[in-house]
């Protein structure tokens, strides 16, 4: 939903022939979702600002006498719009978009799967570069990284056909906290990371950082920098536990089991 | 709908560590119709864990903390509490997979989903309870070790138990009154 929507004004719109009333400036994609109409997306994430990069969510919009193609994820619903999500023009445009994305990111299994789902058997255009690319420049990783509030460790770099996402100057990303959100949101499997020898390695960003070891079992469970990042976000009385989640569960189980139930302990302590 | 707040309670002396609660939980939180299908889909993932403590088993799940640390650290408000007495919920669509909640939770009960895109956590089976059913772990427990009880009832029982101990001379509620 848009965060610049003014005072909840409702507007009516028609999507694939069905009428729906939504708050003005609701994204067309969300309005369609309310009607359970699924529009394919790659660069969309419910928690991140729309970016309109992948063009897969293309729809046909009609207002008065004019009709045009546009992206649904960043189209705010206004009075008098009628939207079609599956007209021949939409399907043709979407198909072409996907064929171009396939050429851009030929190594991405996700793109290949999507293409097959749309009935595209083989790539039409020559693969770009060495055929190993998986990035479609959708910017989800960059937006997720910004959203995290650690300062934005990665960004777009270079222009035109040379554009890529990278760490500053292709070196260690000094603001990276190693959380792996970029990896989780990437729709095409471009970003690689692995934990090795006490380090979290975000290899796509040429970045390594130290992991915290669980004080109980020794497992390396979280990047030290991420734990530091969380400190000011927690209430003061809540400690950052330097124990891995599995050991926290074991501890919680032990502390709540007989005879150390909290109630029992309370009564015993008063008997000095 | 002014329903009385209810909590999960565990009587660990009844827990057989059979892990039926985990199985039921995994199934209840998948779209699959039965367990075999759920396992095949790779979706089946329990939101609670039965931990071994000596000879006991102890199911551990989200405490739905009043001042939930997971919600406090979440950068996208994917974890939130919709109303004062509601469970702490997760909107998986808003999760960006940063794992902050996993590191903030004092009880270690948030896990990364198998496909690695979002976390999973206990929702006190709000979909089931809205229809008057019990949470899946409670319904599945063969010995009723896990129960879903009204908070007031549960507190009254605990007061009663404590009073009995005191009456039996085993415990003293307040040492300063000892004369
Ligand atoms: S997940 Fe953990 S931190 Fe969040 S409410 Fe539950 S117990 Fe508290
Ligand atoms: S989802 Fe709309 S342009 Fe990518």
Among the atoms of ligand 2, which is closest to the Cα of residue A39?
Answer: 1
Q: Of A195, A172, A185, which Cα lies nearest the Cα of A146?
A: A185
Query: B65, B96, B169: which to substitute to probe chain A, counting the most A Cβ within 10 Å?
Result: B96
Which burial class, exposed, middle or buried, applies to B125 when counting CB atoms under 10 A from its CB (0-12, 13-18, 19+)?
buried
Whether B177 is in a domain gets the answer no
Pocket of ligand 1 (CB under 6 A): B 62-65, 68-70, 88, 105, 107, 109-110, 121
- Given a cut of 70, whether residue A252 has pLDDT beyond it is yes
Q: Looking at the structure, do residues B25 and B98 belong to the same domain, yes or no?
A: no
Q: Looking at the structure, do residues B77 and B116 belong to the same domain, yes or no?
A: yes
pLDDT score for A8: 75
pLDDT tens digits for range B11-54? 888 899 999 999 999 999 998 888 888 888 887 899 999 999 88
The answer to whether residues A141 and A185 touch, using CB atoms and an 8 Å cutoff, is yes
In DSSP notation, B82-126 reads SSTTSPPEE-GGG-----HHHHH-TT---EE-TTSSSEE---TTH
pLDDT tens digits for range A32-55? 999 999 999 999 999 999 999 999
Q: Looking at the structure, do residues B57 and B143 belong to the same domain, yes or no?
A: yes
Q: Looking at the structure, do residues B133 and B54 belong to the same domain, yes or no?
A: yes
Residue numbers in A near B171 (CB within 8 A): 267-268, 271
Q: Looking at the structure, do residues B115 and B165 belong to the same domain, yes or no?
A: no
pLDDT score for A2: 47
Query: A41, A47, A143: which to substitute to probe chain B, counting the most B Cβ within 10 Å?
Result: A47
- All residues at 6 or more sequence positions from B35 whose CB lies less than 8 Å from its CB, including other chains: B23, B26, B27, B44
Q: How far apart are the first and last CA of chain A?
A: 59
The answer to whether residues B171 and B161 touch, using CB atoms and an 8 Å cutoff, is no
Query: What's the domain range around B151?
Result: 1-62+123-172
pLDDT score for B33: 83
pLDDT score for A4: 54
DSSP run (H or E) holding A29: helix A28-34
pLDDT score for A137: 97
The answer to whether residues B117 and B97 touch, using CB atoms and an 8 Å cutoff, is yes
- Which residue from B73, B77, B162 is facing A233, i.e. has the nearest CB? B73
pLDDT score for A82: 97
Pocket of ligand 2 (CB under 6 A): A 41-44, 52-57, 71, 73
Residue numbers in A near B15 (CB within 8 A): none
- Which residue from B105, B106, B173 is facing A267, i.e. has the nearest CB? B173
d(CA A120, CA A99): 8
Whether B115 is in a domain gets the answer yes
- Which residue from A144, A234, A253 is facing B96, i.e. has the nearest CB? A144
Q: Residue of the nearest CA to atom 5 in ligand 1?
A: B64
- Given a cut of 80, whether residue A1 has pLDDT beyond it is no
d(CA B29, CA B26): 5
Q: Looking at the structure, do residues B5 and B56 belong to the same domain, yes or no?
A: yes
pLDDT score for B174: 52
pLDDT score for A266: 41
* CA-based nearest residue in chain B for residue A148: B75
Contact A271 B75 (CB under 8 A): no
Average pLDDT of A141-158?
Answer: 94
Whether B85 is in a domain gets the answer yes
Q: Looking at the structure, do residues B132 and B81 belong to the same domain, yes or no?
A: no
Q: What's the CATH code of the domain at B111? A: 3.30.70.20
Cα dist from A20 to A2, A10, A31, A77, A86, whole Å:
17, 10, 8, 11, 17
- All residues at 6 or more sequence positions from A42 whose CB lies less than 8 Å from its CB, including other chains: A54, A56, A101, A114, A136, A138, A187, A188
Q: Of A14, A88, A13, which Cα lies nearest the Cα of A58?
A: A88
More confident residue, A17 or B165: A17
- Given a cut of 60, whether residue A99 has pLDDT beyond it is yes
DSSP run (H or E) holding B127: helix B126-130
pLDDT score for A258: 60
* Cα-to-centroid distance, A54 and ligand 2 (Å): 5
pLDDT tens digits for range B119-130? 999 999 999 999
User: Is A195 strand, coil or helix?
Assistant: strand
pLDDT score for B178: 42
Average pLDDT of A226-236?
Answer: 91
Whole-prediction pTM: 0.88
**Token pair of B97, please?**
């997979």
* Cα-to-centroid distance, A105 and ligand 2 (Å): 16
Whether B178 is in a domain gets the answer no
Q: Which ligand is nearest to the CA of A41?
A: 2
pLDDT tens digits for range B103-160? 999 999 999 999 899 999 999 999 999 999 999 999 999 999 999 999 999 999 989 9
pLDDT score for A256: 82
d(CA A95, CA A102): 11
Q: Looking at the structure, do residues B113 and B128 belong to the same domain, yes or no?
A: no
Q: Looking at the structure, do residues B57 and B136 belong to the same domain, yes or no?
A: yes
In this prediction the ipTM stands at 0.88
Taking the CA atoms of chain B, what radius of gyration do you get in angstroms?
A: 19
Cα dist from A179 to A138, A142, B53, whole Å:
20, 13, 32
pLDDT tens digits for range B60-78? 999 999 999 999 999 999 9
**pLDDT bucket at A257, cuts 50 / 70 / 90:** confident
Whether B164 is in a domain gets the answer yes
Cα dist from A100 to A208, B5, B123, whole Å:
34, 54, 42
DSSP 8-state assignment for residue A233: G
Residue numbers in A near B10 (CB within 8 A): 256
Q: Looking at the structure, do residues B69 and B117 belong to the same domain, yes or no?
A: yes
Whether B105 is in a domain gets the answer yes
* Cα-to-centroid distance, B91 and ligand 1 (Å): 14
pLDDT score for A240: 78
Contact A250 B51 (CB under 8 A): yes
Whether B80 is in a domain gets the answer yes
Q: Which long-range contacts (CB under 8 A, 24 or more apart) does A110-119 make?
A: A110/A187, A110/A188, A110/A189, A111/A136, A111/A188, A114/A40, A114/A42, A118/A94
Residue numbers in B near A179 (CB within 8 A): 98-100
Q: Does A260 touch chain B (CB under 8 A)?
A: no
* CA-based nearest residue in chain B for residue A262: B158
pLDDT score for A269: 37
DSSP run (H or E) holding A217: none
**Token pair of A80, please?**
């008098």
* CA-based nearest residue in chain A for residue B99: A179
Q: Which ligand is nearest to the CA of A27?
A: 2
Q: Looking at the structure, do residues B5 and B33 belong to the same domain, yes or no?
A: yes
Q: How far apart are the first and last CA of chain B?
A: 49
**Token pair of B41, please?**
């889909």
Q: Looking at the structure, do residues B16 and B45 belong to the same domain, yes or no?
A: yes
- The number of distinct structural domains making up chain B is 2
């Amino acid at each position: 939903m848009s965060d610049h929507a003014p005072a909840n004004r409702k507007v009516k719109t028609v999507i694939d022939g069905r009428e729906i009333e939504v708050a003005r400036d609701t994204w067309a994609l969300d309005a369609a979702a309310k009607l359970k109409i699924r529009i394919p997306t790659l660069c969309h994430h419910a928690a991140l600002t729309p970016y309109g990069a992948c063009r897969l969510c293309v729809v046909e919009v009609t207002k008065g006498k004019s009709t045009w193609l546009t992206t649904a994820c960043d189209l705010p619903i206004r009075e008098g719009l009628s939207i079609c999500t599956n007209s021949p023009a939409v399907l043709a445009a979407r198909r072409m978009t996907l064929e171009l994305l396939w050429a851009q990111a030929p190594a991405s299994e996700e793109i290949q799967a999507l293409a097959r789902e749309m009935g595209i058997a083989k790539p039409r255009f020559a693969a770009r570069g060495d055929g190993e690319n998986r990035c479609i420049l959708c910017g989800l990783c960059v937006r997720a990284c910004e959203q995290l509030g650690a300062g934005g460790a990665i960004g777009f770099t270079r222009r035109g056909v040379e554009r890529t996402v990278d760490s500053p100057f292709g070196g260690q990303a000094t603001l990276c906290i190693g959380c792996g959100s970029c990896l989780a949101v990437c729709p095409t499997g471009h970003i690689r990371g692995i934990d090795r020898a006490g380090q979290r390695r975000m290899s796509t960003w040429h970045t390594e950082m130290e992991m915290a070891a669980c004080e109980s079992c020794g497992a390396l469970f979280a990047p030290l920098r991420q734990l530091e990042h969380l400190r000011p976000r927690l209430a003061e009385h809540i400690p950052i536990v330097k124990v891995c989640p599995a050991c926290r569960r074991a501890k919680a189980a032990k502390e709540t089991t007989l005879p150390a139930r909290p109630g029992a302990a309370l009564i015993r302590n008063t008997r000095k | 709908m002014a329903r009385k707040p209810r909590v999960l309670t565990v009587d660990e002396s009844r827990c057989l560590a059979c892990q039926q609660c985990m199985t039921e939980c995994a199934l209840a939180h998948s779209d699959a119709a039965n367990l075999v299908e759920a396992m095949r889909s790779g979706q089946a993932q329990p939101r609670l864990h039965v931990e071994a403590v000596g000879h006991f088993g102890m199911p551990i799940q989200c405490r739905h903390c009043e001042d939930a640390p997971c919600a406090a650290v979440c950068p996208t408000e994917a974890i939130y509490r919709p109303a004062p007495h509601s469970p702490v919920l997760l909107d998986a669509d808003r999760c960006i997979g940063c794992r902050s909640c996993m590191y903030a939770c004092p009880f270690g009960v948030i896990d990364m989903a198998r496909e690695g895109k979002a976390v999973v956590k206990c929702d006190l089976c709000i979909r089931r309870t809205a229809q008057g059913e019990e949470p899946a772990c409670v319904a599945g427990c063969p010995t009723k070790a896990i129960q879903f009880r009204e908070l007031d009832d549960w507190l009254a029982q605990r007061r009663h138990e404590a009073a009995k101990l005191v009456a039996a001379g085993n415990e003293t509620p307040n040492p300063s009154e000892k004369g």
